[in-house]
Each structure stands twice: as C-alpha cells, then as structure tokens.
Homo-oligomer: A and B are copies of this chain.
Amino acid sequence: METVKYLLSEDRLPQAWYNIQADLPQPAPPVLHPGTGQPIGPDDLAPLFPLALIQQEVTTERFVAIPDEVQRVYRQWRPSPLYRARRLELALDTPARIYYKYEGVSPAGSHKPNTAVPQAYYNKIEGTKRLVTETGAGQWGSSLAMACAFFGLECKIFMVRVSYDQKPYRRALMEVYGAQVTPSPSQETNAGRAILTGHPDSPGSLGIAISEAVEIAAGDPETKYSLGSVLNHVLLHQTVIGLEAIEQMQLADDEPDIIIGATGGGSNFAGLAFPYLGRKLRGEDDVRVVAVEPAACPSLTRGRYAYDFGDTGRLTPLVKMHTLGSGFIPPGIHAGGLRYHGMAPLVSHLLELGQIEAVAIQQLDTFAAGIQFARAEGIVPAPESNHAVAGAIREALRCKEEGVSRAILFNLSGHGHFDMQAYTDYIAGRLVNYDYPAEEIAMALAGLPAVS
C-alpha cells in the first residue's frame, strides 16, 4: 500500500489568484476607523501597505493576475504535491479516501511564502526599502525574511519575547535569511516602552508585537508593514493552494466531499477552501467545509462575531470577525500559529453565512493524530497542521462507523521539523488540554469596543 502523489507540471501553475469577494451573496462588513467609526479608505492604509495590496484588499474582481516575477519564485516549489494517504487509510481501516495538499515543500517549510513572496514583490516595485512585521513562533517571520532576501529588501521582525527566548531556532532561521530580529516588547517604540515601564519582565504577546511593527512602519516612509494572515489580500495569495488542488483532484479522478483546514488567523484554511467555496457559492458544488481550531483558542466556536481590534494595543482598524476579545491571552499551546484572538473577516463572514462549519479540538488529540499520520505517511506535521490531521481522521472514522466512503481533502500546511520540542513534550506526557470556564471567555468579550 503506497502513498499516491498527484503532481502538476509547472505550466499548470495558476496564473491568477481567486478572490472569493466576487462570489459573496453579500459583502463582508467594512473595516472601520477606530477614531471615527467610519469605513476606512485607501489613504488610511497607504502609510502601511503598498497600493497594489490595498487594491487587492478591496477588489471584487474574481481573479487577480499573479505577476510573472512571483510565478517564477513560486515555481521553485509549486505546484505543491497533493497526496492520497493510502497508508493512513489502511492504518485507520476506513473506507474513506483521504487526500492532503502538502505545503511543507516550500524552503521555509510552510504555506507562508505563498503570501510573503508577493508582498515582498509589490513592496519592491513600489519603492519600499524595508518591511517590518511581527512573529510569534516564527513561521511567518522566517517566510517574510526569506522573501525579503530574494527581492533585496531589508527586513525587521518583532518577535514575541517569550518565543525569542524559548525558540532560538526560528530566530536563527530569520537571521540566516538576513533579517533583524528584535524581542518584543522593546525600547524601540512607544508601544513597547509603555509596556516595559509597567512590566519590565513582560513576556510579550502577538498583539503587542503588532503594535510595535505598525508604529515603526507608520513613522518611516521607506518602511512598510506586512501581515501574514487575517487580511483579505493575504487569503487571496494563499488561494494558489486550492486552485492547484482542484486540478490535482481531477488528476485523481475524484472530488472532495469534505474539505478541512486548521484555523488560526485563517490563511491556510482559506487558501485551500476558498476556490472550492467559490464553486459552492455559485451553486456548482455542495462540498462540506470544516475549519478546525484549537480548543485553547476557540474564536470560531466560542467567540463572538463583532467588531474588534487586531492588536491588544488597540492601534489597528476595527474589523468584524469572530473574536475572543483583543485582550484574550490564549494559553501557551504548541500550535503557536493558531494563538490569535480573532479570525479572518472573510472566514468569519462565511461562517455567518452558513457556508462553513467549525470544530475545536484539544491539544492532546491533535498530537495523537499527528503521530499516527507520521508513522503512516512519513511526514511529521507542524502542530498547527495537526489540527487538520485530527479533523480528517475524525471524519474518516465516521465514514468507517457509517460504512460509507467519502473523499476527505485537508491542507497539511507545514512540516514539524522546527517543532520537535512539542513532540518531545507530548511523548513525555508533559502536554495538557485546556477547558475554559465560560465566565473567563465572557469576561474577555466584555471588553469588546462599543461598535456594531
């Protein structure tokens, strides 16, 4: 029994990204200025982003052409392989057909370069000298650092202090690519200094690091800001995943009944799911789409659909999304890429429209699934990706119980070679689950801004 690979030739690399905003029955609510409560315009975003990305944020064109220069970089590892997990099916003794799209083949080991490369490209051609961003565990920071090295941009990364100290390997990767990595909170920004004054030993948070990065970009005309998830243009760039998958499933002569992705900010999930959801919105498909989030950060399943800030410092515009409140600090689970209080507005909107489902899975279940997957398929998934693996295994076991064969397609967003401490801790029995008291979530939600 073997793992079967479906590979597209390079000339089948998509020429355009798919924009789900073209197919929404009603548009997602507008992004609001935190001071005026009015919808923001391009001028509000111009200090932070190049014009091309601001346009992509709001366009309703169905397809956005991928620049030739970006396609040439993509082709180093794209089209990425799609596999049928025959050995996993055998191990589960399931009638399900399990497929996965594997994004760990990028040089940085995850899907993040799919957006890091075009973001660096558009900044380069619009004259940006330096990009600044934030990173938690480091998957996004390392991908942006690599893309900046390719296009000759400087790169500055605010890395959450606790990760900077505890995860020196991702930091080393960013430095290998030539980026400057600063622990956050830092003395370099007002936002950082304000925190350090009150809490000199602050471990930092993604929200604080965003505030620092945005402040630096806003204060220097040659520096722009870059974000690795949540925003519309980021999700747009990731749709290259799903567009390829649609062609590869045709090669496999099969069609997915269920599509599964892990959700933190929403970008890898959207990358696989949106091209399929577009067909569903147009009445061409009736696929079930399932977002799997960590029980320790359950924005889709236990959060509120409301306007909230993107950062804890409350410097960003207000976006309507499923949120646990920008003051919510999720526990230190190993799937660091999923530790975000909010969710991409487009993913949130689709949940409200009833187009997708959401499920939360506990940490221990995700690692058990990842190890079962690794023994069958050889690839050790990133802790974030283990959420998708666990979701797929659940659906495959349901097929077995019901005696039906369904095609399950999930996104394996990255490999876990940088995350072996997590597996070490799991094997040693040091990991735990998290069961939130409802009151704790209610308290965090009570701090939401008064906008509707």
Q: Is the CB of A168 within 8 A of B5?
A: no
Contact present for A177 and B72 (CB under 8 Å): no
Tell me the residues in window 105-136 of chain A with beta carbons closer than 8 Å to chain B beta carbons: 105-109, 113
B residues less than 8 Å from A10 (CB atoms):
5, 7
Are A75 and B2 in contact, CB atoms less than 8 angstroms apart? yes
Is A378 within 8 A of B150, CB to CB? yes
B residues less than 8 Å from A420 (CB atoms): 168-170, 172-173, 418
Which of A22-30, A195-203, A277-285, A421-429 forms contacts with chain B? A421-429
Q: Is the CB of A172 within 8 A of B417?
A: no
A178 close to B (CB within 8 Å): yes
Select the stretch in A239-247, A266-274, A314-322, A369-377 that faces chain B. A369-377
CB of A31 within 8 Å of the partner chain: no
- Which residues of chain B are within 8 angstroms of A177 by Cβ–Cβ distance? 374-375
A10 to B83, CA, bound (A): 13
Residue of B nearest to A68 (CB): B2
- Which residue of the partner chain, among B76, B170, B380, contacts A83 with CB atoms under 8 Å? B76
Within 8 A of B (CB), among A150-175: 150, 168-173, 175
Residue ID in chain B nearest A375 by CB atoms: B149
CB contacts (< 8 Å) of A109 on chain B: these are: 417
Q: Which residues of B contact A170 (CB under 8 A)?
A: 420
Are B427 and A175 touching (Cβ within 8 A)? yes
List A residues 344-383 near B (Cβ within 8 Å): 371, 374-380
CA distance in complex: A286, B451 (Å) = 75
**Chain B residues with Cβ under 8 A from A378's Cβ?**
76, 106-108, 113, 146, 149-150
Instruction: Bits for A171-201, please: 1 = Cβ < 8 Å to B, else 0.
Output: 1110111100000000000000000000000
Asked whether any CB of chain B lies closer than 8 Å to the CB of A3, the reply is yes
Is A73 engaged at the interface, CB distance under 8 Å to the other chain? yes
Measured in the bound complex, the distance between the Cα atoms of B423 and A168 in whole Å is 10
Q: Which residues on B sit within 8 Å (CB–CB) of A9?
A: 7, 9
A2 & B173 in contact (Cβ 8 Å cutoff): no
Closest to A419 in B: B169
Write out the residue numbers on chain B whose beta carbons fall within 8 Å of the beta carbon of A175. Answer: 423, 427
Given contacts A3-B76, A109-B417, contact A169 B424 (CB under 8 A): yes
Residue of B nearest to A367 (CB): B176
Q: Does A87 contact B (CB under 8 A)?
A: yes
B-side contacts of A417, CB under 8 Å = 109, 173, 415, 417-418
In the bound assembly, the distance between CA atoms of A122 and B5 in angstroms comes to 24
If A149-B375, A420-B418 touch, does A176 touch B76 (CB 8 Å cutoff)?
A: no
A75 to chain B, nearest CB (A): 6
Measured in the bound complex, the distance between the Cα atoms of B149 and A106 in whole Å is 25
CA distance A38 to B378 in the complex (A): 42
Closest 7 CB pairs of A and B: A107-B378, A169-B420, A2-B72, A417-B417, A172-B424, A149-B375, A172-B420
Q: List 30 A-B contacts (CB under 8 A).
A: A2-B76, A3-B76, A5-B10, A5-B76, A7-B10, A76-B377, A76-B378, A87-B150, A107-B379, A107-B380, A108-B378, A149-B375, A149-B376, A149-B378, A168-B420, A168-B424, A169-B421, A169-B424, A170-B420, A171-B424, A172-B420, A172-B421, A173-B380, A175-B423, A175-B427, A176-B374, A176-B380, A177-B374, A417-B417, A418-B420
